[in-house]
């Protein structure tokens, strides 16, 4: 039997589900009458992990973003991982919104999570490893209590618990 048990706190997004949601949103936008002749597009850049929604005016670009977000939610993509900027005018009758997909736990959020775990006074040891936080302890019950406490608190990012040992 191992002496220490552990789990990892991660923030991951299934990119295939993102692509599927974008394709579904594109199909809906093409079929909707209110988007007829608006040249509304949704483009996904895999390398930069960004989505660009383009349309002819502020209202249409926001509506297309809403359609895409609804498709993302239905496909199980965590909306906390999507950070949308404000609409930007990029010429005559051309607006776009850039959405950034955030994967991994940023350093400042990781520090907040570690501080929160230490404030619980449970006998566990959190450690930051790049964009993952590993929590280890002698008792599985303590680890389960940490998971329950983390689920109650909102850190502004989507978190999953993996790699139970």
Q: Which fold has domain 15-101?
A: Alpha-Beta Plaits (3.30.70)
Q: Is CATH 3.40.50.360 what the domain over 5-12+105-162 is classified as, yes or no?
A: no
Q: To which residue do tokens 């990781």 refer? A: 110
What average pLDDT does this structure show over 8-31?
A: 90
- The whole model's pTM is what? 0.80
Distance CA 139, CA 137 (A): 6
Q: Name the segment(s) of the chain with CATH classification 3.30.70.860.
A: 5-12+105-162
Is the pLDDT reported for residue 32 higher than 90? no
Residue 61 CB-density burial (10 A; 0-12 exposed, 13-18 middle, 19+ buried): buried
pLDDT digits (tens, 9 = 90+) for 64-96: 999 999 999 999 888 888 888 888 888 788 888
Q: Name the segment(s) of the chain with CATH classification 3.30.70.990.
A: 15-101
């Amino acid at each position: 039997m191992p002496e220490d048990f552990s789990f990892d706190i991660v923030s991951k997004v299934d990119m295939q589900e993102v692509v599927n949601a974008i394709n579904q949103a594109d199909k809906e936008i093409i079929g909707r009458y209110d988007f007829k002749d608006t040249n509304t597009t949704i483009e996904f850049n895999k390398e930069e992990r960004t989505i660009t929604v383009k349309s002819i005016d502020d209202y249409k670009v926001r509506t297309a973003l809403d359609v895409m977000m609804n498709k993302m939610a239905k496909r199980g993509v965590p909306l906390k991982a999507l950070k949308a900027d404000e609409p930007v005018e990029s010429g005559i009758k051309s607006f776009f919104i850039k959405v950034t997909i955030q994967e991994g736990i940023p350093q400042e959020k990781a520090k907040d999570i570690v501080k929160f775990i230490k404030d619980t006074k449970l006998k566990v040891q959190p450690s930051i490893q790049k964009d993952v936080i590993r929590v280890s302890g002698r008792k599985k019950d303590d680890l389960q209590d940490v998971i329950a406490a983390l689920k109650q608190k909102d850190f502004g990012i989507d978190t999953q618990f993996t790699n139970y040992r």
